[in-house]
A and B are shown apart, each in its own frame.
Chain A
Amino acid sequence: MKKVEMKQLIEKIEGEAELDFTFNDGEIDDVKINFGFYRGIEEILREKDARDALVITPRVCGICNHAHLIASVRAIEDGYKRAGVEVNLSSKAKDIREFTLACELIQNHIKWLYLTILPQLKRYVGERSEENYAIKASYLSTTITKALAIFAGQWPHSSYAVVGGVSCDPTHLDVIQAQSLVEESIRFFEQVVIGMDLEEYLAIKSITQLSEIEGDFGNLLYLLGSNDMATIGKSHDRFIVFAESPLSVSAKSIGTQLSKVDVRYVKESMQENTVAKAVEYKKRLYEVGSLSRGMVAKRPIIKSLHKRYKDSLMTRVFARVDEVGVLLKSCKNLLQNLALDEPSCTLPLNKMALHFEGVGIVEASRGSLIHKTKVKNGKIVNYEIITPTQWNLSHGTKEEQGVAIKAMVGAKSVEEATFVFRTFDVCSVCTTQ
């Protein structure tokens, strides 16, 4: 047996990471993932006003800032309720929050598709391409975040979700403009990404129909299939979703076996040699993100892919792009049914809890994001953030390797392993918040 160690700097992943690979007889048998700088957002929050978290926590991450905002407002609202202050969101406020969150997920997934997966895959398989994929990412991201900004004022770094609702007071004019931007995004998705009608796409149930998909997604599936990507990248085959959303319920799926989850069993721990903390659920590691949501929601096409290819790279990548279609449909429905005659914020300005503990959970683009806040005399005494990337990229426990590491084990080259790594949509800044 011959052990060889290799180091690789991974860039363009929302920061950088360094991977230390150990090869054993020509195959990777372990990987150490090292992230950069610990920025200490949790420490920065201490002694600030409880609501300041709505401004500070989005600054954890430039690409999923909105998810942090929603997680932090939910944490405060949970705390208020537990302290006896009634918080009942109007359906309008709930729907607007779901809408803006969905816009952010679409922005994120589409950037991952065009800035990471397609160019990296072409490079990996040695196919030269002069295509400007980035312009596609930028176009859809610009369009959909404009729809988001109609309600949230801006993206990135909005703080429009306030305790008891949302700060905006949209008119029909606003909704019509947002609808038009969603329609534009759907048109782009149909004509450029999938090369087919959205409704027909969403009706696809089985892998036998995948050849109907054209466009860049069709091309991607072809490249993945013809390069054996359906056999690599398998991990623990365990999936977890903590927040209810239009995408899925909250549950875990071991293989295809569904069962309930309770966020109280989530445990965070320090790891050696990296500033990223590891996280586990009842002593087991779970994958979070689009694939997990698709599995928990039992979306037929995801189940069909999983039945054949398990949690391979192919299934993981498919689930991520697939979610764009599901989210666009959800965006359209949310706007169509938005109850503008309801109040935006139901909590009066003078109603406030001063001592509380609360948990806020949200499905961010990379998976479940958890915020916990502890407040005394109106000031934060402790704040904890558990990001999706911590689930997927931890080193693991004594018993089992981390989710992404397990997926890389068995790879024959650094190039293969780093491509597997990128399919998790690594976010260095979230991991080292």
Chain B
Amino acid sequence: MSKPKLLWLQSITCNGNTHSFLNHPELFSILAHFELIHHPVLESDYSFQEVIEGSVPCDVLILEGSFVQEGFLKAGVEVSSVIEHYAKRAKDIITVGTCATFGGIFKQKEPDKISGFAFDIEEKTARYKEYASKLISLPGCPIHPRWLSFVLLMITNGKKVEIDELHRPVELYGYTVHMGCTRNEYFEWKVDVKNFGLKEGCLFYEQGCQAPYTRGSCNKILWNDTSSKTRVGTPCFGCTEPSFPKTSLFTTKTNMGIPAKMPLGVPRRAYLTLTGVTKSFKIKRFSERLLEYDK
């Protein structure tokens, strides 16, 4: 049996998803399951000129970058027409990154014209219906290389990827970024971080961390197989969410001192009750450094 033909197309992008995927330690074993028709960086079977001419085969289509219907030409051809040409022929379409999925950062340049391929933030675009049956969304700015390899290998193994209403695989986006964060105890006991550059304390209360209500498995499948934003003291900016990027990213918006946005699915009343309880205790261990070199 011949291998599925993989085509990677870019629209309005920074190439971040391309480079993130190049960091996959098993990159070439994964690609060995496919015939690489065209890729933005790697050597591939056909030139970009041939891709534009519309004559190359395509089973699995990977889309990177925000989508604009008119005004973005490559070699004199509208990129949108090239994408739709292959989207019609593909058996599977994977939108990689928040730009291709929801519109992302580059949508903010022209919010009325620029969107994701099948979603405009959370709204379905006009083309959603035609492609819904073969669409998988992998939001993230950028995608984690292992998220993409999971989907690609599921496809080549003939397995069905379970997805949610925004077509995100539940195995990847059923989690929140908060799950697995090394600062979880500080979150539970409502201990905020005293400054940047400390391994102790939670970033949710003051520093704008969006991990408790952001879908993604950054703290389960670690970045570069080693860490994550929150583990190195950087707040989660919600880069997998349709709303990315919001504003005032290093500040938690609060109402009467309570974070304005609750952890995913948690009723405000439940949150307040727990906070009341935990705040009534002062636990010595959580006010101390884990280890100190600067004693």
Q: Which residues of A contact B (CB under 8 A)?
A: 9, 11-12, 14-16, 18, 36-37, 39-41, 43-44, 48-49, 51-52, 54-56, 59-63, 65, 93, 111, 115, 119, 132, 134-135, 137-138, 141-142, 145-146, 148-160, 162, 164-169, 171, 177, 340-345, 348-349, 429
If A49-B250, A134-B42 touch, whether A158 touches B109 (CB-CB below 8 Å) is no
* Contact residues, B41-55 vs A (CB, 8 A): 41-43, 47-49
Tally of A-B Cβ pairs under 8 angstroms: 201
If A49-B250, A155-B23, A167-B197 touch, whether A119 touches B43 (CB-CB below 8 Å) is yes
| 29 sample A-B contacts, Cβ–Cβ < 8 Å, listed by A number | A12-B41, A12-B48, A14-B41, A15-B13, A43-B109, A48-B248, A51-B250, A55-B245, A56-B245, A61-B16, A62-B20, A65-B16, A111-B22, A115-B41, A119-B43, A134-B28, A135-B28, A141-B23, A142-B22, A145-B23, A145-B224, A146-B224, A157-B16, A157-B142, A159-B234, A160-B232, A160-B233, A165-B196, A165-B197
Cα distance A49–B246 in the bound complex, in angstroms: 11
Cα distance A52–B238 in the bound complex, in angstroms: 13
B14: which of A18, A60, A341 is its contact (CB, 8 Å)?
A: A60
Complex A-B, nearest 8 residue pairs according to Cβ-Cβ distance, in ascending order: A344-B197, A345-B197, A154-B223, A62-B15, A62-B16, A149-B224, A167-B233, A153-B232
* Contact assessment for B74 and A51 in the assembled complex, using a CB-CB cutoff below 8 Å: no
Q: Please, which residue of chain A has its CB at the minimum distance from the CB of B231?
A: A153
B229: which of A12, A134, A153 is its contact (CB, 8 Å)?
A: A153
* Contact assessment for B226 and A52 in the assembled complex, using a CB-CB cutoff below 8 Å: no
If A49-B251, A61-B15, A132-B28 touch, whether A159 touches B109 (CB-CB below 8 Å) is no
Cα distance A40–B113 in the bound complex, in angstroms: 14
**Which of A146, A151, A169 has the most chain B CB within a 10 Å cutoff?**
A169
Complex interface: chain B residues within 8 A of A115 (CB)? 41-42
* Contact assessment for B22 and A12 in the assembled complex, using a CB-CB cutoff below 8 Å: no
Q: Please, which residue of chain B has its CB at the minimum distance from the CB of A161?
A: B234
Complex interface: chain B residues within 8 A of A132 (CB)? 28
| Nearest-Cβ distance from residue A287 to partner chain B, whole angstroms | 24
Q: Mark B241-270, 1 if CB is under 8 A from A, else 0.
A: 000010111110000000000000000000
If A44-B108, A168-B197 touch, whether A156 touches B231 (CB-CB below 8 Å) is no
* Contact assessment for A156 and B20 in the assembled complex, using a CB-CB cutoff below 8 Å: yes
Complex interface: chain A residues within 8 A of B18 (CB)? 62
Indicate if B25 sits at the interface (CB-CB under 8 A). yes
* Contact assessment for A16 and B74 in the assembled complex, using a CB-CB cutoff below 8 Å: yes
* Contact assessment for A49 and B247 in the assembled complex, using a CB-CB cutoff below 8 Å: yes
Complex interface: chain A residues within 8 A of B231 (CB)? 153
Complex interface: chain B residues within 8 A of A158 (CB)? 229, 234
How many B residues have CB within 8 A of the partner chain?
Answer: 65
Cα distance A166–B233 in the bound complex, in angstroms: 9
* Contact assessment for A37 and B12 in the assembled complex, using a CB-CB cutoff below 8 Å: yes
If A9-B75, A52-B249, A55-B245 touch, whether A341 touches B293 (CB-CB below 8 Å) is yes
**Which of B14, B48, B249 has the most chain A CB within a 10 Å cutoff?**
B14
Cα distance A41–B107 in the bound complex, in angstroms: 10
* Contact assessment for A171 and B22 in the assembled complex, using a CB-CB cutoff below 8 Å: no
Indicate if B92 sits at the interface (CB-CB under 8 A). no
Cα distance A11–B18 in the bound complex, in angstroms: 14
* Contact assessment for B224 and A155 in the assembled complex, using a CB-CB cutoff below 8 Å: yes
Q: Which residues of B contact A (CB under 8 A)?
A: 10, 12-20, 22-25, 27-28, 40-43, 47-49, 72-75, 105-106, 108-110, 141-142, 194-199, 206, 218, 223-234, 237, 239, 245, 247-251, 291, 293-294
If A36-B74, A167-B232, A344-B198 touch, whether A142 touches B25 (CB-CB below 8 Å) is yes
Cα distance A111–B251 in the bound complex, in angstroms: 37
Complex interface: chain B residues within 8 A of A155 (CB)? 23, 223-224
B19: which of A55, A60, A62 is its contact (CB, 8 Å)?
A: A62
If A154-B223, A156-B19 touch, whether A39 touches B142 (CB-CB below 8 Å) is no
Cα distance A62–B41 in the bound complex, in angstroms: 12
Complex interface: chain A residues within 8 A of B245 (CB)? 52, 55-56
Complex interface: chain B residues within 8 A of A137 (CB)? 22
Cα distance A18–B228 in the bound complex, in angstroms: 38
| Nearest-Cβ distance from residue B182 to partner chain A, whole angstroms | 11
Cα distance A56–B19 in the bound complex, in angstroms: 17
Q: Please, which residue of chain B has its CB at the minimum distance from the CB of A48?
A: B247
Cα distance A39–B218 in the bound complex, in angstroms: 27
* Contact assessment for B197 and A51 in the assembled complex, using a CB-CB cutoff below 8 Å: no
A349: which of B12, B110, B195, B294 is its contact (CB, 8 Å)?
A: B195
| Nearest-Cβ distance from residue B174 to partner chain A, whole angstroms | 21
Complex interface: chain A residues within 8 A of B250 (CB)? 49, 51-52, 54, 162
Cα distance A65–B19 in the bound complex, in angstroms: 11
Q: Please, which residue of chain A has its CB at the minimum distance from the CB of B289?
A: A169
| Nearest-Cβ distance from residue B226 to partner chain A, whole angstroms | 5
| Nearest-Cβ distance from residue B47 to partner chain A, whole angstroms | 7
* Contact assessment for B28 and A162 in the assembled complex, using a CB-CB cutoff below 8 Å: no
* Contact assessment for B248 and A52 in the assembled complex, using a CB-CB cutoff below 8 Å: yes
| Nearest-Cβ distance from residue B27 to partner chain A, whole angstroms | 5
Cα distance A39–B14 in the bound complex, in angstroms: 9
| Nearest-Cβ distance from residue B45 to partner chain A, whole angstroms | 13
* Contact assessment for B293 and A340 in the assembled complex, using a CB-CB cutoff below 8 Å: yes
| Nearest-Cβ distance from residue A144 to partner chain B, whole angstroms | 10
Complex interface: chain A residues within 8 A of B291 (CB)? 171
A44: which of B28, B40, B109, B251 is its contact (CB, 8 Å)?
A: B109
* Contact assessment for B229 and A142 in the assembled complex, using a CB-CB cutoff below 8 Å: no
If A9-B48, A156-B16 touch, whether A134 touches B227 (CB-CB below 8 Å) is no
A146: which of B109, B226, B248 is its contact (CB, 8 Å)?
A: B226
Complex interface: chain A residues within 8 A of B20 (CB)? 62, 156
Complex interface: chain A residues within 8 A of B75 (CB)? 9, 16, 18
* Contact assessment for B47 and A149 in the assembled complex, using a CB-CB cutoff below 8 Å: no
Cα distance A358–B83 in the bound complex, in angstroms: 41
| Nearest-Cβ distance from residue B77 to partner chain A, whole angstroms | 11
B109: which of A39, A156, A429 is its contact (CB, 8 Å)?
A: A39
B72: which of A36, A154, A343 is its contact (CB, 8 Å)?
A: A36
| Nearest-Cβ distance from residue A120 to partner chain B, whole angstroms | 10
| Nearest-Cβ distance from residue B139 to partner chain A, whole angstroms | 13
Complex interface: chain A residues within 8 A of B15 (CB)? 14-15, 61-63, 429
